[in-house]
Chains A and B, each alone.
Chain A
Amino acid sequence: MKDIKLIVLFVALTASLPLITSSGVMLNFVVMALYATLLAQSWNILGGYSGQFSFGNAVFFGTGAYVQAIAQMQFGANAWVALLFCIAASALVGLFVGSVSFRYGLKGSYFALVTLAMAEIFRILSLSVSFTGAGVGLMLPLNNTFLGMQFVQKSGYVWLLLGLVTCALLLTTYIKHSKLGAYMQAVRDNEDAGRALGINPFKVKLVAILLCASLMGAGGGVYVQLFQYIDPGIAYGPQSSVEALVAAIVGGIGTLWGPVVGATALLLMSELTRNLFGQIPGINMVIYGFVLVFIVLFAPSGLTELGVSIRSLVFKKTISNSTSVPLDDLDSKPGEKL
């Protein structure tokens, strides 16, 4: 299968990068690109394939991050075990948010607003309870071992994140070629038509948000391992929600490689602008906004589709020849064939 081959190639190339270069800047870029890809892939399953646009993916991200930190600091769990807990906890939050909003048929901007509100509720809650460290946040003790999931060499994080991104890519490939994916896209494109054909949209959306939340939670867990610090603003603030959805939209929603392309392109851009406008804090968010508007206006199917349409412009002739229908086919009477 073409998708699997491409994934193998992608994994092989990325995995070998740390062996080729030891440049900190380079590896740091790869780590952050993989991290952004993971968030975007998560959003893409719910938003891209199932058509439910979440503006509050931070609610899963933050839960993952806190559980990752708390499981280790307050329950002495191993970091790898904590990651499992963090995925499970985010999945539960996903089920909660999904069952609350989808049961009442919230769609489109209403669903987006509910997710946004959920993230805000969780942010305020995490500010006011003590086990999250409230406003002070939580500082994960340094433990630079494999078992502690903290690495002196950036290559460790490359491989860790690459493992998770590979899971996300394989999951998306499965969705693309399965009944689950067909049902997700049917719900996205026409819910009523789907219901007439035997689809229970509530169930399908619940599975989608569960998968989305699990991946997003894993992203939060890795964030804590990477930066050893989490507070309510980072966990449940808009940053991770925006990063996830912009990267997916810029890359191309509902595609396998869109989130990879989008996340990498955005990171590249924000690195460049940081060098140019280093003095202005938050400039990358401004740039994100502009890029989003630009993409939505001029390339609504994202960068990957932009590539496809440029290619089809170049090879216009061959494509139009292959898809045109012979005239006599139009004249045939299908009724007679029955």
Chain B
Amino acid sequence: MNVSTVMDDNILSLHTISKTFVGLKAVSDVSFNVASGSLTALIGPNGAGKTTLFALISGFIKPDSGKVIYKGEDITGHPPFDNASKGLTRTFQIVQPFAGQTVLENVAVGAHLHHSKRSHALEYAQHVIEKMGLQTHTHKQSGELTIAFRKRLELAKALATKPQLILLDEVLAGLNPREIQEMIPIVKSLVNEGITVLMIEHVMQAVMNLAEKVFVLDHGSLIAEGTPVEVTQNELVIEAYLGKGTAARLKGYGAKSASLPESNDSLRSNG
């Protein structure tokens, strides 16, 4: 670990990761670094391979080739529970509560990773629940929660494992604008606590607001990286979302026809 901190301060490095499902190249030769303590976003159109990449990093799927380096250690193909105990955990796009268990019991499962005693785990779970603003639902069944609170529960479970790197798979999907406004500070607070966050997100408002760095995936390949503003100006990115030739057309039409809803400003300055 000492070596890695001397060498670089990336908590996670991917080296030419590839994964093919029967006939479909889901992820091909993706390499990138995530700096310690940063908030990085992974974006891309539907089917770009973002969730597959998360599964490859967290160990749910083994890559065909390439390496995953976490804190200087090669964890390629290590099972997810090993990674979780080393501080790397993930949430799921489709929330995965322990159905039939209360919110407290759900979060306590995560807390047990570092608290063997039941009472300690429950105590720590309670602490995390309060931090996530779930305290009024502590003893509710997880199935009774609204989607917004289920997303928070998903986050709380992962947070209870005391992660150093957390992979968030669309924690804002399905939320209304007000719920998104409420969730953004929660995600920010993770970074303030020193947790590195890598998030898949479609809500561009949040990406622009939160991420220091953005990686763009399309058809399994990394097509762009940079700050949110840089990325939204990138022609490849615009074409990936809106179709081939769009960037040129937008340029041609100039400022008036700029139509990327979340990135109007950046497109105008470009055009």
Contact = CB atoms under 8 A, between A and B. Distances in A.
Interface of A: 177-179, 182-183, 185-186, 189-190, 192-200, 323, 325-326, 329-330, 332-338
26 contacts: A178-B118, A179-B118, A179-B121, A182-B105, A182-B109, A182-B121, A185-B105, A186-B109, A189-B99, A189-B100, A190-B97, A190-B99, A192-B92, A195-B60, A196-B92, A197-B113, A198-B85, A198-B89, A198-B112, A199-B81, A200-B81, A323-B140, A334-B134, A334-B182, A334-B186, A336-B185
Contacts of A325: 136-137
A54 B107 CA distance: 29
B54 to A, nearest CB: 10
A336 B186 CA distance: 9
A334 B79 CA distance: 34
Contacts of B185: 335-336, 338
A182 B58 CA distance: 22
Contacts, number: 107
Interface in B168-221: 181-186, 189
Interface of B: 58, 60, 79-81, 84-85, 89-92, 96-101, 105, 108-110, 112-113, 116-118, 121, 131-134, 136-137, 139-140, 152, 157-158, 160-161, 181-186, 189
A331 to B, nearest CB: 11
A334 B109 contact: no
Given A182-B109, A334-B133, A192 B186 contact: no
Nearest to A325: B136
Given A182-B121, A197-B84, A334-B132, 16 more contacts: A178-B118, A179-B116, A182-B112, A186-B98, A186-B109, A192-B96, A193-B92, A196-B60, A196-B84, A196-B89, A197-B158, A198-B89, A199-B109, A200-B81, A323-B139, A334-B134
A335 B113 contact: no
Contacts of A323: 139-140
Nearest to A174: B118
A207 to B, nearest CB: 14
Given A182-B105, A185-B98, A192 B133 contact: no
Interface centre among A183, A195, A199, A200 (most CB of B within 10 A): A195
Nearest to B99: A189
A183 B112 contact: yes
Contacts of B101: 185, 189
Contacts of B116: 179
A122 B105 CA distance: 40
A195 B98 contact: no
A329 B98 contact: no
Given A193-B92, A197-B158, A198-B113, A335 B98 contact: no
B39 to A, nearest CB: 15
Contacts of B112: 179, 182-183, 198
B170 to A, nearest CB: 15
A274 B243 CA distance: 76
A182 B158 contact: no
